[in-house]
Amino acid sequence: MAIAAELHALQEIDSAIDVARATLAAVEEQLGETEELTAARAAVLEHREVLRELHESQRDIDWQVDEARSHLTAVEGKLYGGTVRNPKELAGLNDDASMLKGQLRRREDELLNHMVKVEEEEAALREAEAALKEVEGRWQGEQSDRLGQKQRLEAELAELEKSRQAQAGSIDGRVLELYDVLRDRRQGKAVVKVERGMCQGCRISLPMSVLQKTRSGFDVVQCVSCERILYVS
């Protein structure tokens, strides 16, 4: 094969390697946990924590209700027990009893309100858990798709790198160096086609002498303007 054709073939492989590497990097970036999954998991933990706190404060309110009830029972015991006869004292106990009844009622109302809150939070937790399960299921599916894609790309890259080695092996070292420099400098396009007498890299019309040399294909001929290696298919 003429040198320009060899270099062009090498560039085709290198471009395919570039594409495969970029795709692989994008796939790898999508591996691991998504923001959606992290958020769904955090929501469940948050609801669990709120519920735990609610259960804790419910124990306090329960305790306060019990306390108010036994206090009232004690006062009523004295009031109706017959041991206290002094009217002033009885009147005082009566006042205490009605005050304690009011207190007990308020505590019981508080407990009821609290139990409603607990129920609401339990429902919110169940909802968050269901959402997490759904997100996790979807995520696992996507993960295994991506892992499959990653493996395919890695195999493809290994093949491409093998062909690159074989292709580069047939090209002179100094020419390869020039190719590498140009590929670096010209966004991966070191070798360009000549069509209708024009360099397809920079669209300049090439001098006849350059065109003739390019057509022979046995020398490395560079564009007079963009310096890319010229190739006639």
Q: Which residue type sits at 52?
A: R
225 binds Zn ion (CB under 5 A): yes
CA distance 85 to 83: 6
Sign of CA dihedral 37, 39, 45, 50: negative
Task: Report which secondary-structure segment, H or E, holds 189.
Answer: none
Please identify, among the stretches 1-9, 126-134, 155-163, 225-233, the one whose residues bind Zn ion according to the rule CB under 5 A.
Answer: 225-233
Q: Please, what is the minimum distance in Å from the beta carbon of residue 222 to Zn ion?
A: 8
Please identify, among the stretches 55-63, 144-152, 168-176, 192-200, the one whose residues bind Zn ion according to the rule CB under 5 A.
Answer: 192-200
Collapsing DSSP to helix, strand or coil, 195 comes out as strand
201 binds Zn ion (CB under 5 A): yes
Please identify, among the stretches 114-122, 143-151, 165-173, 200-208, the one whose residues bind Zn ion according to the rule CB under 5 A.
Answer: 200-208
Please identify, among the stretches 113-121, 150-158, 211-219, 220-228, the one whose residues bind Zn ion according to the rule CB under 5 A.
Answer: 220-228
Q: Give the C-alpha distances (Å, rounded to integers) separating 108 from 63, 99, 104, 118, 145.
A: 11, 14, 6, 15, 56
- First vs last C-alpha separation in the chain: 11
Give strand pairing partners of 174: none
226 binds Zn ion (CB under 5 A): yes
The smaller minimum CB distance to Zn ion, of residues 15 and 34, is found at 15
The smaller minimum CB distance to Zn ion, of residues 107 and 183, is found at 183
The smaller minimum CB distance to Zn ion, of residues 170 and 225, is found at 225
Q: Please, what is the minimum distance in Å from the beta carbon of residue 202 to Zn ion?
A: 3
202 binds Zn ion (CB under 5 A): yes
223 binds Zn ion (CB under 5 A): yes
205 binds Zn ion (CB under 5 A): no
CA distance 9 to 97: 101
Q: Give the C-alpha distances (Å, rounded to integers) separating 152 from 13, 21, 24, 27, 209.
A: 17, 12, 9, 11, 47
Please identify, among the stretches 1-9, 46-54, 80-88, 223-231, the one whose residues bind Zn ion according to the rule CB under 5 A.
Answer: 223-231
Asked if residue 164 lies in contact with residue 202, where contact means CB atoms within 8 angstroms, the answer is no
Instruction: Rule CB under 5 A: choose which of 3, 4, 199, 210 binds Zn ion.
Output: 199
Asked if residue 190 lies in contact with residue 7, where contact means CB atoms within 8 angstroms, the answer is yes
Q: Under the rule (CB under 5 A), what is the footprint of Zn ion?
A: 199, 201-202, 223, 225-226
